[in-house]
Amino acid sequence: MDHPWSAGFQTLPDEHDYRVDDIDGVVPPSLRGTLFRNGSGRNDLGGHWFAHWFDGDGMISKVRFDDAGIHYRNRYVATQNYRDETKAGRIVHRGFGKMRSLGPLGNAFRQPANVSNTSVVMQGERLLSLWEGGPPTALDPATLDTQGIEDFGGVLKAFSAHPKTDPDTGELFNFGIDYGAKTTLTPYRLDRGILTRLPPVVLPYPVMNHDFVLTARHMVFCLGPILVHPLKFLLGLKSFDGALHWEGSRPTLILLVPRDGRGEPRRIETDAFFQFHFANGFEEDGDLVLDLARYPNYSTIGDALRNYWRSAWSSRGMAALTRLRVDLETGKVEKQTFPTGTANEFPSINPAFTGKRHRYAYIASNPAQRESGLQQRISRIDFESGAVASHDFGPAGYVGEPLFVPSRPGGAEDEGVVLVMVFNSTDRRTEIVGLDARDLAAKPLFTARLKHHVPYPLHGIFVPAPA
């Protein structure tokens, strides 16, 4: 291992189920419920690392907070890919970056296997494990047992890992991108268990897109010019990752899709950029406001993801926390960046403010002077004052996505706990840390040390305990 953060990518082969007893501090009485995290739990087979971080098999971590303390459980999502490759002990299916043996003939016309490794969402009494290129996998939220693929009666194919829930109506919105003779973005609405496919949007060229923003009226996408060579991929000449290329001469398309399924989508062109994740977005006074982690292009992040465990994770070319303000009458786009350091990723907000004007966002970042390495701090930005507060876990701690958990329904926007999973490279264990959202730089409210590491997760949710 070349870097201290590299060990955090190593496979966790075992499934655990135990009460956490190594805890500093006190878990607030208001923090009762379950944290679910998803990510690549198995990143190698037969001693060989997978070609891309996104190739790893999905593993769910369940962290339950109750009156007795904290309980941890993890289970692999028993996808066809996981079962087949566990049995064979080698690569059997194509992935985002990995390829089957036998060259093009062994890969031609084979789609990447669903590894269900990106995020989760609750849908009724089920936990859905999400992956970009296919339908979700249903799990039992109590045991994490895999129940099977959920395609809602064949209605959906691809289903993004970033669904958004309207906090007022309870409606869940999401989308999928399907590649073929034409590239189609299909929006979905899930309301009380009923999935509705909204009118699909034919895109002008095949792009990769990961996230979107939900506002009161629209689903909003920023489609950067990271294009796929479909023929190279279909013929088995390249992996999906290998078929991606950046065309910076093209604009980024800001696509506004009416969330009620009525009316035509609108496209607004702006300077080329790339983003994986948004913090939030909203509409006010004729403007559309988007807060996101904005990359100048795909080069640096694409290379880092491809070399994940051995990458230096250079800060040059990584994302800046950026606010775009779009005049919906003229289409003019203004840009503002914020001093949250470098390597900004995984922005989040209080979920009660989804689609509404928000004041605060929380993001993983590094100090501006740090030239390389995975993120080591969590920062809070106050969009009204511009003030930034940070909690730095250096020198040995490497952070994941911050997740804001409100202390009570209807409380102030910043009244809550920020939960984050931190890999400690000194003892190679993962810690569950709770920070006071109002005093982020202060000593953690609590630090719960697991008995092992959890390979860096990607996304998750917190489900409050029933009142």
Q: What is the pLDDT along the chain (467 residues), one digit of tens a residue?
A: 689 999 999 999 999 999 999 999 999 999 999 999 999 999 999 899 999 999 999 999 999 999 999 999 999 999 999 999 999 999 999 999 999 998 999 999 999 999 999 999 999 999 999 998 999 999 999 999 999 999 999 999 999 999 999 999 999 999 999 998 899 999 999 999 999 999 999 999 999 999 999 999 999 999 999 999 989 999 999 999 999 999 999 999 999 999 999 999 999 999 999 999 999 999 999 999 999 999 999 999 999 999 999 999 999 999 999 999 999 999 999 999 999 999 999 999 999 999 999 999 999 999 999 999 999 999 999 999 999 999 999 999 999 999 999 999 999 999 999 999 999 999 999 999 999 999 999 999 999 999 999 999 999 999 999 86
| Strand partners of residue 462 | 35
Task: Please provide the size of the chain in residues.
Answer: 467
Please identify which residue in the block is written with the tokens 């070399």: 307
Please identify which residue in the block is written with the tokens 């064949």: 154
What whole-number distance in Å separates Cα of residue 13 and Cα of residue 16?
Answer: 10
Residue pair 347/293 in contact (Cβ under 8 Å)? The answer is yes
Structure tokens, 7 = 């060990």
What whole-number distance in Å separates Cα of residue 401 and Cα of residue 162?
Answer: 13
φ/ψ of residue 82, rounded to 5: -65, -45
Distances in whole angstroms, Cα of residue 370 to Cα of each of 293, 320, 367, 393: 18, 14, 6, 14
Structure letter (DSSP) for residue 142: T
Structure letter (DSSP) for residue 169: T
User: Could you tell me how far CA 319 lies from the centroid of its own chain?
Assistant: 15
- Do strands 23-25 and 446-449 pair parallel, antiparallel, or not at all (unpaired)? antiparallel
Run of H or E residues at 303: helix 299-306
6-464 has which CATH code? 2.130.10
Residue pair 31/463 in contact (Cβ under 8 Å)? The answer is no
pTM tops 0.75 = yes
Structure tokens, 38 = 């998803």
| Strand partners of residue 278 | 292
